[in-house]
């Protein structure tokens, strides 16, 4: 039934296909910009608002493209004419959509913006993003999640945020803002006001024209190899790293999960038990749990080390000043650290 330019479809399940480009699917993470047409389905019905060029799906709504699925209580897709597509009124060789093919204006359309509201999940075989609301700008190739319980999960890492979570699949980058936390699958944890995570690109071996029967498959054929594994994390504002023995804080930092090494800078503080060291930079080995305070030739480190605390001996060994000998024994309680 059509009223006022709206087409209200109340079928229990209904599909709408609209092309959004012709790039090959290939190995992808949460990337809706690549692949064939986007399929939109819903349980409670779909409204096709021709005047606004919108398709609204309600009730267990899903948008699927290749191996990427967006599910929510409500999905709204904005579409437009594809550049160079056929003009309205031209008869297509095959229907461009299912259920909409009676209107020739649906031919040559492309979805350029997708909004999901309520219980949002965007997922592939390996990666998943969650939140209350999501906006996917296909022109800019960026997904923005807002609301509560924002989370991006891969087989290796989990990234959470309070304010918003951006995912740029083609730049292989995620940005988490507001009490942002990244936790690795071996329980290593880095938190900050803002975290920027850079994903590693899955390598594909060069093609030789012929491939032996024993050759390993391309990384793009392996879901785990193609997932968004974090290669580097940059942290800004109120950075905190926790190890089994230490808590290290600073103003900014960089963490490399593969090596387990992190460097913090700016008002760095290492706390171990009741002991504390202060300086400008620190290296933290997340695999061994050892944190080392670093100062330049002109810099200084200071601290409060309690002589009766067993952890004071290891803390003194781990404080390092390039160009000078490491601290060999803790000073008396209340004494300052080595002077330049």
Tell if the pTM clears 0.75, that is, is over it.
no
The pLDDT value given to residue 16: 52
Q: Report DSSP letters for 151-213, one per residue.
A: EEE-SSEEEEESSEEEEETTTTEEEEEEEEEEEETT--EEEEEEEEEEEPPPP-PPP-S---T
> Cα separation of 192 and 234, whole Å?
9
The pLDDT value given to residue 328: 34
The pLDDT value given to residue 30: 87
The pLDDT value given to residue 188: 83
The pLDDT value given to residue 202: 54
| pLDDT < 70 positions in the chain | 1-28, 84-107, 201-228, 295-340
The pLDDT value given to residue 336: 37
Using DSSP, state whether 311 is helix, strand or coil.
Answer: helix
The pLDDT value given to residue 297: 52
The residue ranges of every structural domain in the chain are 1-141
Which residues have CB under 8 Å from 251's CB, separation 6+?
Answer: 236, 237, 238, 239, 264, 265, 266, 267
The pLDDT value given to residue 63: 93
The pLDDT value given to residue 187: 80
pLDDT in tens, 114-128: 999 999 999 998 899
């Amino acid at each position: 039934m059509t009223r006022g330019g709206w087409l209200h479809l109340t079928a229990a399940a209904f599909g709408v296909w609209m092309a959004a480009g012709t790039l090959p699917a290939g190995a992808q993470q949460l990337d809706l910009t690549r692949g064939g047409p986007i399929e939109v389905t819903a349980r409670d019905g779909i409204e096709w608002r021709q005047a606004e060029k919108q398709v609204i799906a309600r009730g267990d709504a899903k948008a699927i493209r290749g191996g990427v699925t967006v599910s929510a209580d409500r999905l709204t897709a904005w579409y437009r004419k594809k550049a160079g597509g056929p003009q309205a009124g031209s008869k297509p060789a095959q229907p461009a959509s299912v259920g909409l093919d009676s209107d020739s204006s649906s031919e040559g359309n492309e979805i350029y913006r997708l909004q999901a509201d309520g219980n949002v999940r965007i997922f592939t075989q390996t990666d998943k993003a969650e939140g209350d609301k999501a906006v996917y700008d296909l022109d800019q190739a960026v997904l923005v999640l807002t609301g509560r319980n924002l989370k991006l999960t891969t087989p290796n890492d989990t990234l959470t945020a309070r304010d918003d979570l951006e995912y740029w699949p083609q730049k292989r980058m995620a940005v988490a803002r507001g009490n942002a936390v990244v936790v690795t699958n071996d329980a290593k944890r880095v938190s900050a006001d803002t975290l920027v995570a850079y994903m590693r690109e899955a390598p594909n071996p060069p093609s030789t024209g012929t491939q032996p029967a024993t050759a390993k498959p391309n990384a793009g054929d392996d879901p785990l190899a193609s997932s968004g594994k974090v290669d580097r994390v940059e942290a800004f504002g109120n950075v905190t790293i926790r190890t089994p023995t230490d808590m290290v804080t600073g103003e900014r930092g960089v963490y490399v999960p593969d090596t387990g090494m992190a460097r913090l800078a700016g008002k760095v503080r290492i706390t171990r038990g009741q002991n504390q060291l202060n300086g400008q930079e620190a290296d933290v080995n997340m695999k061994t749990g050892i944190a080392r305070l670093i100062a330049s030739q002109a810099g200084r480190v200071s601290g409060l080390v309690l002589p009766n605390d067993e952890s004071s001996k290891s803390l003194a060994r781990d404080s390092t000043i390039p160009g000078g000998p490491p601290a060999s024994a803790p000073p008396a309680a209340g004494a300052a650290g080595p002077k330049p």
